[in-house]
Chain A
């Protein structure tokens, strides 16, 4: 399977704990995006990378959120001191620079903060 993969698929944590999600993009894609989706809403942009460089961060991305893509391949999204409002589906997508704007999404990580 050469699609976007995400791990874990589900995460339950207690408020105040730190969590980390991983995304592996389609191998030839040099852009990687993170989105968050809550019930009844469309995905909302969080941040994106071109290779190793983080090019844009949304105002939604508070100081408790950090994303990395150290070698320009997989990416991690960490949430520190989780809050109940962080409960959502976290989606990763990838695209190839130069191939218009089409992004291909992974299955998502469902986070529940108790």
Chain B
């Protein structure tokens, strides 16, 4: 049962344009969402996160949007740069009570290629 899905295996974007990566989830218990970036042969690097009490979080060129009713989140990268080329994973977690978050459930990833 794939609880977190990234339906686009790949995305190609021109440098300077906007990259939009999408993620859908099915488990309504998820209330904390994260995006990670991964280069080959390295571990995932944390990019940005959002709590379910918000619908938008921004950090520099990266903005995450959360639509709880649609169980959908997206990552916007503006402007895109060639160095952004990597695999992007969305992940979700459920609060077990208080601030006690446990495991992350990941999507399959989207390969982003930014062309100069």
Interface, chain A (partner B; CB < 8 A):
4, 6, 33, 35, 40-45, 48, 55-56, 58, 91, 93, 95, 97-108, 110
Q: Is the CB of B89 within 8 A of A42?
A: yes
Interface pair B34/A43, CB less than 8 Å apart: no
Q: Hey, which chain A residues are within 8 Å of B80, CB to CB?
A: none
The smallest beta-carbon distance between B42 and chain A, in angstroms, is 6
Does the CB pair A105–B44 fall under 8 Å? yes
With known contacts A48-B102, A55-B102, A106–B34 Cβ distance under 8 A = no
Q: Annotate B32-68 by CB proximity to A: 1 below 8 A, 0 otherwise.
A: 1010100001111110010100000000000000000
Complex interface: chain B residues within 8 A of A55 (CB): 102
Q: CB-nearest residue of chain A relative to B92? A: A101
Distance between B30 CB and nearest chain A CB, rounded to angstroms: 10
CB distance from B6 to the nearest CB of A (A): 8
Cross-chain contact of B103 among A40, A56, A97, A99 (Cβ < 8 A):
A56
Q: Does B25 lie at the interface of the complex (its beta carbon under 8 Å from any beta carbon of A)?
A: no
Point out the residues of chain A lying under 8 angstroms from B45, CB to CB. Answer: 105
Which B58-115 residues have a C-beta within 8 angstroms of A? 89, 91, 93, 95, 99-109
Contact of B107 among A35, A42, A100, A101 (CB under 8 A): A42
Residue of A40, A58, A100 touching B99 (CB-CB under 8 A):
A100
Q: Which residue of B lies closest to A108 (CB)?
A: B43
CB distance from B95 to the nearest CB of A (A): 8
The winner among B32, B43, B106, B108 for most chain A CB atoms within 10 A is B43
A99 contacts across to B, CB distance below 8 A: 99
